[in-house]
Chains A and B, each alone.
Chain A
Amino acid sequence: MLEIDGIEVNYHHSMQALRGLSLHVPDGQIVALLGSNGAGKTTTLKAASNLLHLEFGSVDAGSIRFRGQDIGRMAPDALVRAGLFHVREGRRIFTEMTVEENLIAASYALDGRGLRPAYDKVYAFFPRLAERRRQIAGYLSGGEQQMLAFGRAMVACPRMILMDEPSLGLAPKIVTEIFTTIRRLNAEDGVTILLVEQNAAVALGVAHYGYVMEHGRIVMEGDAKKLRDDPDIQAFYLGTGAAGNATSFRDVKHYKRRKRWLS
């Protein structure tokens, strides 16, 4: 579905954000992309949805193909209409518009595809949005805003969703709800998902496959189950492996192991 091969991304022609990053998202799967702050996860998604040029970034090497087609020359809105929807970091709902108008805005993704926007389906999926459909979206709670962001994605009927930090700033209970939604979108509608998350434990819980990135490149990849069991992942991302025996010697080893990763 999505193939990213050896891309290099620079901001303002000087700051290198991605250096030779490759990743593949096969049809119908959930793929998690993990990494610490500043590793380049969000940049990867923006490169895939062609939004980089709005932030003075550019893909200077490598290629990105969506359903076999090179996206380099496609306008970001055309890419959305081709079925690649990006749920942005921080949800980015239109705060001055009502819930309903936010959903209508997303129906532009259906232009020229002969589909009718399924607002009822969204309201059935998230009854709380139905209650608040005429409210200004800026007044929704964080969880409801995330639901609205998902609702917009559902209206857009995408083949694939790029999902950036859906758990950001949400209470654990809401996070569980959100990830149930992600699993349902994938299982019921067959939507392929590339999921960027800080919360590695939950992300690997729903994903089929995972990539780990550091400093603008992939440093590790594998089946979600394999990653969950990997001692390095446990130590660096899941926070479980090192529990109980955090000696100073172990800290040294930790540092060395991390260094090996980054080289």
Chain B
Amino acid sequence: MGQLLQFTINGLMAGAIYALIAVGIVSVFKATRVVNFAHGYLIMFGAYFYFTFAVLVPQAAWAPDWLASWQPGWMMDMREGLPMFSPLAAVLDWLANVPRILLGLAGALLCNAALGLVIERTLMRPLMGQSVFAMIMLTVGLISILSGSAQLIWTSDAEFVPSLAPNTPIRFALFGQTIFLFGADLANMVIALLIFAGIVLMVRYTKSGIAIRATAEDQSTAYSMGISVPKVFSRAWVLASTTGAVAGAILATRNGISPALGLFGFSVLAIVLMGGLDSYLGVFLAAMIVGVLEALTQWQLGGEWAGIVPYVAVLVVILIRPHGLFGAKEIERI
């Protein structure tokens, strides 16, 4: 029992990241009925863009020194006499990185948004009006193009990238148990949940959200309301690629950067199928369930089982409810 809470919390933190990735797949599917198999590779590009703007650019000879490491006088004063691993030292380390973290995030968001737009404009839009299956196959082809070009562009070895929040260890008691976490993991979860909630609220309560739902329900009627369906499509792709950029940055800080990041998209695709392709609520629950199951399996059975048990659960759910936990019934089978 002692560790249950600790591992559950670890699982929830992982689940929030899954949810952040899943939101991109769901948004594209809702608007365009396309299951984006290449979403993981959009995330990988987001990670590489973050690496470029947070590590490579600040290191460049022409970049100002404060970009690589911001050391104003007051910070040096505070640092005086601090013990090595004090929380304050960790926060100060993070503060010194803030300029490049912000540059990294901004660069990753912008570049990934551009990438999403280019994909939508050049590959998806010409196929509008054709079978959706053609577009889905196209995203499969996109996988090779994206992973190949990433290896062409970023030849240097990926280094350590700065985490989004100070990575101080946090220790606190909950129900008599001592829980131990890292500040960066907690911050990542908060960021992921905020973005997820923001998107859900946007879709539910704003006028653009109504346009997305109208397009999702009935494309031709959305047209006859004066809604520009192609615009909805490109917004969905931008939404997917920008949330993917944040997810990529987070994954890069957690697991490092490699072309294998793209594979992450496939496990999240399974989660999305479990939740129901077009249901934000279902996908959120599925992400959390898989996250927690993964952590608990790791705890009880060891790391080698962690990759299997949650996905067996996914399969069982899909067998019992083929359209997912909360999915609409008439979903395209893939």
Known: A53-B129, A101-B210, A104-B207. A111 touches B226 (CB 8 A): yes
Chain A residues with CB below 8 A from B210, complex form = 97, 101, 104-105
Pairwise interchain contact A88-B211, C-beta atoms closer than 8 A = no
Smallest Cβ distance from A163 to chain B, in angstroms?
A: 12
A107 to B207, CA, bound (A): 9
- Interface membership of B65, Cβ < 8 A: no
Which of B78-86, B133-141, B212-220 has 4 or more CB atoms under 8 Å from chain A? B212-220
Chain A stretch 47-103: residues in CB contact (< 8 A) with chain B: 49, 51, 53-56, 75-78, 80-81, 85-86, 88, 92, 94-97, 101
Q: Is the CB of A94 within 8 A of B218?
A: yes
Known contacts A105-B210, A105-B211; is A97 also within 8 Å of B224 by CB?
Answer: no
A160 to B166, CA, bound (A): 61
The residues in A between 215 and 253 inclusive whose CB is less than 8 angstroms from any CB of B are: none
Number of interface residues of B (CB under 8 A): 20
Set A92, A106, A111: member contacting B218, Cβ < 8 A? A92
How would you classify the secondary structure of chain A's contact residues: helix, strand, loop or mixed?
helix
List residues of chain A with CB within 8 A of the CB of B129.
53-54, 56
Are A96 and B213 in contact, CB atoms less than 8 angstroms apart?
Answer: yes
Counting contact residues on chain A (CB < 8 A from B), the size range is 20 to 34
Q: Across the interface, do B224 and A108 meet the contact criterion of CB distance under 8 Å?
A: no
Asked if residues A51 and B223 are in contact (CB atoms below 8 Å), the reply is yes
Whether a CB of chain B sits under 8 angstroms from the CB of A156 is yes
Report Cα–Cα, A111/B227, bound state, in Å. Answer: 9
Q: List 26 A-B contacts (CB under 8 A).
A: A51-B223, A54-B129, A75-B228, A75-B230, A77-B225, A77-B229, A80-B224, A80-B225, A85-B224, A88-B220, A92-B221, A94-B213, A94-B214, A94-B217, A94-B218, A96-B213, A97-B210, A97-B217, A104-B210, A105-B210, A105-B211, A108-B225, A109-B225, A110-B226, A152-B225, A156-B226
Since A54-B220, A96-B217 are in contact, a sample of 14 more A-B pairs with Cβ atoms closer than 8 Å, ordered by chain A residue number, is A54-B219, A77-B229, A80-B226, A92-B224, A94-B217, A97-B214, A105-B210, A106-B225, A107-B207, A108-B227, A109-B225, A111-B226, A156-B225, A156-B226
The interface of chain B, by Cβ under 8 A from chain A, is: 129, 207, 210-211, 213-214, 217-230
